Amino acid sequence: MLRNCILNFAKLLAGHDWSYQYSEDMRVWKAGSAQRKEINQFVENHAAIRSTLQAMHDTANPFKNGEYRTSAVISN
């Protein structure tokens, strides 16, 4: 059961559009926002393994793990 829970959460993270909030297309933003709410709800519903889920989230999040920079770098 724990394995299935973690696998389901990994699928949610893999399917999430991490950059949805930067989209000018409202459909993309709404879909990403709904995914985000689903991820947050999943974590709330599995409080016993919250630290594991948070670690998975932080690893999958390209903005948090350094894959993408969160601020623009201007070079001359």
Domain for residue 45, yes or no? yes
Domain for residue 72, yes or no? no
Residue 71 confidence (pLDDT): 53
Domain for residue 26, yes or no? yes
Residue 70 confidence (pLDDT): 52
Domain for residue 70, yes or no? no
Residue with tokens 């893999």: 14
CA pair distance 31, 69, nearest whole angstrom:
23
Domain for residue 75, yes or no? no
Give 24-65 pLDDT, tens digit per residue.
999 999 999 999 999 999 999 999 999 999 999 999 999 888
Q: Could you tell me how far CA 4 lies from the centroid of its own chain? A: 18
Residue 74 has pLDDT above 50, yes or no: no
Which range marks the domain in which residue 46 is found? Answer: 2-60
What confidence tier does 69 reach under pLDDT thresholds 50, 70, 90? low
Q: What is the pTM of this model?
A: 0.82
How many domains is the chain built from? Answer: 1
